Amino acid sequence: MSDRTKALAQLDKLSIPYEMEEHPAAATIEELDRLGLKYPDYIAKNLFVRDQKGKRHFLITICGHKHADLRALGERLGSGKLSFCSAERLQKYLGLVQGEVSPLGVVNDSNAMVEVVFDKDLEKQPVVGVHPCDNTATVYLKFSDLHKYVWQNGNEILMVEVD
C-alpha cells in the first residue's frame, strides 16, 4: 500500500473530511504557487529537522508564506540548534522522500518518535493544505482535524508562534 493510500485511509478511518486536489509534482511552496491551486493562501510549509545530537526529530508545519527561522524555533522548542535531516533519516522516521514531507506522514511513524510542531496561526485558517505523503496532490482539511490525525497516532504535538 502506498504512503498516500495509507494516509487517506487513516483520514477516512478517523472520519475526517478532506478535499484533495491533484496536480503536477511540486516539492516547494514556490512550485505550488505556480500551479494556481484552489486555496494557495492556506498551503502549509513542512520541514523535517533534528536537534544537534540527532536525538530529537521534529516535523514542523507552518503557514506557507512564513520563513522558518530554525534558530528561533530551536530556542522555542528548547532543543538548541536545529538542522535539516538527511534523506535517510526522513525515510527511517516518516517513510517519506524529500519534497513529500507532510504531517500526514506520521501514519508511517508507528513508534511516534517524531515531535510535530504546528504554527499557532494555522488554527486561524479555514483549511490547511498538505501533501498526502505524495507531492502530486494537496489535501485540504481543518486544522482541528489535522491535529486530531497526528494526536491519534500518538505523536507529541507542540504549538509555537512563528514570526
pLDDT for 163 equals 81
Fold of 3-157: YbaK protein (3.90.960)
pLDDT for 27 equals 85
**Helix, strand, coil shares of the chain as percentages rounded to 5?**
35, 25, 40
User: In this predicted model, what pLDDT tens digit does every residue of 53-71 receive, in sequence order?
Assistant: 989 999 999 999 898 899 9
User: In this predicted model, what pLDDT tens digit does every residue of 131-161 receive, in sequence order?
Assistant: 999 999 999 999 999 999 999 999 999 999 9
User: In this predicted model, what pLDDT tens digit does every residue of 72-124 receive, in sequence order?
Assistant: 999 999 998 999 999 999 999 999 998 899 999 999 999 999 999 999 999 99
Closest CA to 62 of 5, 36, 101, 26: 101
User: Is pLDDT of 1 > 80?
Assistant: no
Q: Is 31 helix (H, G, I), strand (E, B) or coil?
A: helix
> Residue ranges per domain, the chain?
3-157
The secondary element (H helix, E strand) that includes residue 114 is: strand 114-119
Compare 4 and 27 and report the one with higher pLDDT: 4
CA distance 15 to 95: 24
pLDDT category at 44 given cuts 50, 70, 90 is very high
pLDDT for 30 equals 87
The secondary element (H helix, E strand) that includes residue 13 is: helix 3-13
pLDDT for 33 equals 87
Pair 49, 81: CB distance under 8 Å: no
